[in-house]
Amino acid sequence: MSELSAALRKEALLQWRTRAQLAAVFVFGASALLLFSFAIGPDSAALRRHSAGFLWLGLLLASTLTLAESFQSEMEQRALEAQLLMPVRPAALFYGKAISNWAQLSLLGFALVPVMVVLYDAGTDRLGALLGVILLGTAGLSAPGTLYAAMTSQARARQTLLPLLLFPLVVPVLLAATRASSLLITGDPMGQVRSWALLLACFDAIYWSLCGLLFGRVVED
Amino acid sequence: MDLDDGRPAAAFFFAGLGVLLLLAGSYWGLFVAPAETYMGDVQRIMYVHVPTAWNTMLAFTFAFGCALAFLFLGGWKWDSRMEAAMEVGVVLAVLVCMQGAIWAKPTWGVWWDWDPRLTTTAVLVFAFAGILALRHFVDDPVRRATWSAVATIVAFVDVPIVYYSVRWWNSLHQMQSTPETVSSAFHWPLRINAFAILFLMIAAISLRSRIAALRLRTELAPPPPAPAPQTGTAAAEATR
């Protein structure tokens, strides 16, 4: 536990020192939301209907920037190798990084909600539930994203490889998070949100444990 | 070095047997088996589509098994087999999608539908194609093998979640065809082609695995010895 808290302190310091990057990623996500509306046209009903999909696509695209950047600083001056030489388990390093990425992506998601409401007139009276879905969905992006970012940061063509590996894998997250958010915005007469949230939670549980187990193999070889 | 680059005679035997069975099964399916009542001749694509789909899943399952074996048992042969199984699996999965699209257009009226099995197959193609791309962009053989084994395990675990998430989302595909669910007039060509494609797949994986093993042998070979330092006389001879 002390290993994890040390890893989290290191991540918090790292995030604080590169806080301008989070603002840049937010601008990227917001401009993606703006561009999606041009693809549909000025049809306010259609924009509102597709608003949840646009929000999650914007988050998914922006997540590749955040995730790729999270290991960039670890590669400079071989900082990751130095951390592995310390008496700390790789799983603690993984969970420190994954929780940090989850926090960043959740903040980004929360910040994009007002942009979505303004651009697509997609307000909801169940804001707490929507923020909960964002928390579950970004958890699903951050665990496999952190594992793949650790691999691709050490490979050639890292900008291409990360989305190539991550996007097919997170199809269930995109699908469940979009459906749950859409039901919260447009109405949920059949009470389906809970099922989609459960699917997200199952995906999160599987991937947070599996990626934590496999991370050691990725960084130790 | 634990490499799997033995003689390919068995692979050629399986390839020959596979071609013969495929010819027999296709002849039976095209000319002997009766046309299906509702779909007519379009249904005959089932004799290659269903066996290809079964063998696609077998190839990816084998790749998953090789990834586990490489990580937990060790041995380079598992890496070359995993690479071969993934490549053959991707080719078979693309074939399944193409055959499915050819069947879907006259039957469903569309080339593609967001059905669980179709979507899961498409996701599998992209997931494993991504892992093959990762292998091409990593030069160190140890890292390449370990990372692709990890990515294969993660992608394979994703398959049932993708399937059930898409199933909740939308479903149109009919129930799986097996020899038990079709009339006896149809199941012989289905069985024969299933074995034909299985043998062809074994041959392709075996030959591709041998190519991967030969490449690994080159990559893992020790570097050539450094030239001996030249003495004063030898250096003078060389510069003359």
DSSP track, A60-89: HHHHHHHHHHHHHHHHGGGHHHHHHHSS--
Q: What angle do CA B84, B16, B24 make, to 5 degrees?
A: 115
Residues 6+ apart with CB under 8 A from B96: B49, B52, B53, B56, B121
pLDDT band (50, 70, 90) for residue A17:
confident
**For residue range B176-193, what is the model confidence (pLDDT) as tens digits?**
556 666 667 678 888 899
Q: Residue A219 is which amino acid?
A: V
> What is the residue range of A214's domain?
2-220
Q: How far is CA A24 from CA A28, A30, A31, A109, A204, in A?
A: 6, 10, 11, 14, 27
As a whole number, the mean pLDDT across chain A is 89
Biggest distance spanned by C-alpha atoms of chain A: 58
Residues A112-158 have pLDDT tens digits of 999 999 999 888 888 999 999 999 999 999 999 999 999 998 888 87
**CA angle, corner A129, sides to A126 and A131, nearest 5?**
110
Q: Which of A152, A171, A206 sits opposite B157 (nearest CB)?
A: A206
Partner residue facing B133 (CB), from A144, A164, A207: A164
pLDDT of residue B174: 55
Phi, psi (rounded to 5 degrees) for B36: -70, 145
- How many separate domains does chain A show? 1
How far, in Å, CA of A20 to CA of A3, rounded? 27
Beta bridge partners of B36: B40
Identify which has the larger pLDDT, A87 or B83.
Answer: B83
DSSP assignment of B95-131: HHHHHHHHHHHHHHSSS----HHHHHHHHHHHHHHHH
Q: What are phi and psi of B238, to 5 degrees?
A: -65, -40
Neighbours of A221 (CB within 10 A): 13
**Vertex B63, ends B62 and B68: CA angle to 5°?**
95
Q: Do A172 and B161 touch (CB under 8 A)?
A: yes
pLDDT for A77 beyond 60: yes
Query: From CA B209, how far away is CA B70, in angstroms rounded?
Result: 14
Give the span between the Cα atoms of A170 and A147, in whole angstroms. Answer: 13
Q: Tell me if residue A180 falls in helix, strand or coil.
A: helix
Which DSSP helix (H) or strand (E) runs through B226? none
Best B119, B134, B135 residue to mutate vs chain A (most A CBs within 10 Å): B134
Q: Which residue has the tokens 């989609």?
A: A196
Query: What pLDDT sits at residue B236?
Result: 58
DSSP letter string, B41-89:
GGGGGHHHHHHHHHHHHHHHHHHHHHHHHHHHT--HHHHHHHHHHHHHH
pLDDT at B230: 64
Map tokens 């997250």 to a residue: A173
Instruction: Check A202 against B161: CB less than 8 A apart.
Output: yes
User: Residue B169 pLDDT more than 80?
Assistant: no
Question: Nearest CA of chain A to the CA of B156: how many Å?
Answer: 9
What confidence score (pLDDT) does residue B38 get? 72
Chain B nearest CA to A176, separation (Å): 7
Give the other-Cβ count within 10 Å of A109's Cβ.
27
Give the residue from B111, B81, B22 showing the smallest Cα distance to B212.
B81
Q: What is the pLDDT of residue B89?
A: 95
Q: For position B178, what pLDDT does the model report?
A: 61
**Which of B161, B164, B169 is most worth mutating to test chain A (most A CB atoms within 10 A of its CB)?**
B161
Q: What's the confidence (pLDDT) of residue A97? A: 93
pLDDT interval class at A10 (50, 70, 90)? confident
Q: Determine the 3-state secondary structure of B39 from DSSP.
A: coil
Question: What would the mean pLDDT of B89-104 be, rounded to a whole number?
Answer: 92
By the 8 A CB rule, do A66 and A112 touch? no
State residue B32's pLDDT score: 80
At A108, is the pLDDT very low, low, confident or very high (cuts 50, 70, 90)? very high
CB pairs under 8 A between A and B: 89
Among B119, B161, B118, B152, CA closest to A140: B161
pLDDT (0 to 100) of residue A211: 93
The model's pLDDT over B38-95, given as tens digits with 9 standing for 90+, comes to 777 788 888 899 999 999 999 999 999 999 999 999 889 999 999 999 999 999 999 9
Q: How confident is the model at residue A109 (pLDDT cuts 50, 70, 90)?
A: very high
The CB density around residue B4, as the number of other CB atoms within 10 Å, is 18
Per-residue confidence (pLDDT) for residue B119, from 0 to 100:
82
Above 60 in pLDDT, residue A202?
yes
Residue B209 has pLDDT above 90, yes or no: yes
- In this predicted structure, the answer to whether residue B112 has a pLDDT above a threshold of 90 is no
